[in-house]
């Protein structure tokens, strides 16, 4: 027994020494979270778990933004009423609702175009007070619209910045889903520059902010705000198989919204800048077809004849790498960068043609191929129940037509009874070329007997309609 005492003593002493040594080098301190990738811009500056605000100040952000979001109710006439309804002078009234955001304290309200598109009457409800609203302007290419109510001192939303919005950043969706006014939901920015093909326009601009904050029917036109309560987007669409929230919503970035709204207020239409080219993403098959070494940039798929891009030497199949030294790798990024500019602006374009890298300055143009600021000119006929505008040069070139008049704002009237769809372009009536809205209205208001209308649908498909009056 005595011979084991030294061994026991030695083991006990070793245990004490080991515990003391462990304590010296492993003091109780907060766990430090280091960025595993020092180049990661989102997390590189975060040093501890306490420095990451995992919830954001949602209470303050809600209090800041909720007073600036309004409830919109509309009443319109169903333009697709049957011939039975027309025969008995009947009509089908359609009521719907959505959301809006107060842009200025004197009554300008931002919403989605699809919220008010077919409305005969628009009411804006703010803090239980109802205002009659009029449409100042719409932009189908971004699905945005601006309304005006007669009021002063309204709580205008605080404008944020969407260019600096980070993926993973907390955001709130504020709106009126299912007529539940002043509803706030939270989520994060899931992605940016998303194109989901929901905008029905010849030149759609889709560069959506994607979020998992719950967005439902009625949220359209409402606010997407950051943790400071600043507007970073206008909620527009959901991706769902059921029609309700199942994961992701999409918002127009506020930097685009501000440009569109200011143009609509000042000019009645958006001063869209064109480069005279269309692009698509570079994928593996495209890279193999054009013998590209990597997937960087976007590939030119269409060039407008005598357009700005063609004038600087761009060709189909060339790869555009940068606009104003900002890399572009998707069509959405390309179109978003152009959307911030006006006709007449000069931008630097970096492109690769036949393996040669080139920098050129290009002057952007308007839809008529000039650098002037345009004012929207729409002619409305009460008898025909629709509005009409001349098809722009950019659109004529793309559709390969020499003339045409586009239909919009279809309500009760002859156009609805004929079944002509929204966005349809009439190129001729009884083989007579149509060049202006006034010419079209004069012919259709007086014509008798057999009528043959030739034109193109919104997707460019040629169509023919035959009628007898």
CA distances from residue 123 to 72, 337, 386 in whole angstroms, order as listed: 6, 34, 22
Residue in 139, 143, 255, 263 annotated catalytic: 143
289-317: string of b/e by CB count within 10 Å (b at 16+)?
A: eeebeeeebbbbeebbeebbbbebebeee
C-beta separation of 378 from 388 below 8 A:
yes
Q: What is the DSSP string of 120-184?
A: SEEEEEETTEEEE-EEEEEETTTTEEEEE-S-SS--PPPB--STTPPTT-EEEEEE-GGG--SEE
CA distances from residue 27 to 13, 22, 30, 48, 460 in whole angstroms, order as listed: 21, 8, 10, 17, 72
Residue in 68, 97, 220, 227 annotated catalytic: 220
C-beta separation of 161 from 183 below 8 A:
no
Residue with tokens 């619209």: 145
Q: Are strands 144-148 and 462-468 parallel, antiparallel or unpaired?
A: unpaired
**Residues in a beta bridge with 181:** none
What backbone torsions phi and psi does residue 2 show, to the nearest 5 degrees? Answer: -65, -30
Cα 371 to the center of its chain, rounded Å: 24
Maximal CA-CA distance, the chain: 127
Residue in 65, 68, 99, 114 annotated catalytic: 114
143 is catalytic: yes
Quote the tokens at residue 151: 């009021």
What angle do helix axes 331-339 and 254-267 make, rounded to 10 degrees? 40
CB contact set of 348 (below 8 Å; sequence gap of 6+): 322, 323, 324, 325, 359, 360, 361
In this structure, the chain runs to a length of 469
What positions carry a catalytic annotation?
114, 143, 220
């Amino acid at each position: 027994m005595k011979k084991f005492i030294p061994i026991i003593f030695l083991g006990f002493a070793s245990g004490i020494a080991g515990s003391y040594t462990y304590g010296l080098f492993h003091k109780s301190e907060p766990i430090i979270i280091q960025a595993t990738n020092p180049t990661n811009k989102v997390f590189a500056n975060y040093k501890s778990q306490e420095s990451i605000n995992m919830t954001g100040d949602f209470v303050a952000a809600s209090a800041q933004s909720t007073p600036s979001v309004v409830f919109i109710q509309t009443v319109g006439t169903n333009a697709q009423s049957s011939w039975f309804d027309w025969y008995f002078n009947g009509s089908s009234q359609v009521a719907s609702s959505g959301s809006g955001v107060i842009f200025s304290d004197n009554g300008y309200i931002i919403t989605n175009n699809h919220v008010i598109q077919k409305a005969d009457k628009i009411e804006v409800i703010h803090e239980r007070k109802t205002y009659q609203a009029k449409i100042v302007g719409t932009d189908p290419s971004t699905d945005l619209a601006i309304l005006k109510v007669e009021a002063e001192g309204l709580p205008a939303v605080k404008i944020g910045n969407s260019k600096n919005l980070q993926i993973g950043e907390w955001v709130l969706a504020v709106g009126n889903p299912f007529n539940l006014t002043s509803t706030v939901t939270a989520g994060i920015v899931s992605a940016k520059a998303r194109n989901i093909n929901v905008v029905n326009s010849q030149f759609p601009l889709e560069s959506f902010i994607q979020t998992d904050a719950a967005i439902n029917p009625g949220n359209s036109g409402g606010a997407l705000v950051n943790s400071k309560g600043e507007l970073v987007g206008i909620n527009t669409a959901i991706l769902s198989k059921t029609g309700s929230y199942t994961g992701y919503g999409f918002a127009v970035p506020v930097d685009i919204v501000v440009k569109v709204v200011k143009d609509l207020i000042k000019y009645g239409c958006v001063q869209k800048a064109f480069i005279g080219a269309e692009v698509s993403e570079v994928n593996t098959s495209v890279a193999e077809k054009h013998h590209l070494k990597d997937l960087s940039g976007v590939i030119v798929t269409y060039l407008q004849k005598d357009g700005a891009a063609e004038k600087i030497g761009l060709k189909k199949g060339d790869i555009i790498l940068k606009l104003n030294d900002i890399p572009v790798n998707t069509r959405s990024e390309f179109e978003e960068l152009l959307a911030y500019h006006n006709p007449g602006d000069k931008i630097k374009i970096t492109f690769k043609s036949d393996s040669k890298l080139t920098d050129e300055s290009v002057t952007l143009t308007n839809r008529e191929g000039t650098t002037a600021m345009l004012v929207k000119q729409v002619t409305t006929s009460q008898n025909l129940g629709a509005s009409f505008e001349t098809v722009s040069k950019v659109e004529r070139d793309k559709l390969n037509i020499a003339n045409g008049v586009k239909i919009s704002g279809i309500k009760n009237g002859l156009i609805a009874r004929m079944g002509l769809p929204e966005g349809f372009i009439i190129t001729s009536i009884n083989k007579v070329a149509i060049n202006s809205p006034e010419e079209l209205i004069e012919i259709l208001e007086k014509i008798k007997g057999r009528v043959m209308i030739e034109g193109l649908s919104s997707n460019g498909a040629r169509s023919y309609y035959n009628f007898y009056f």
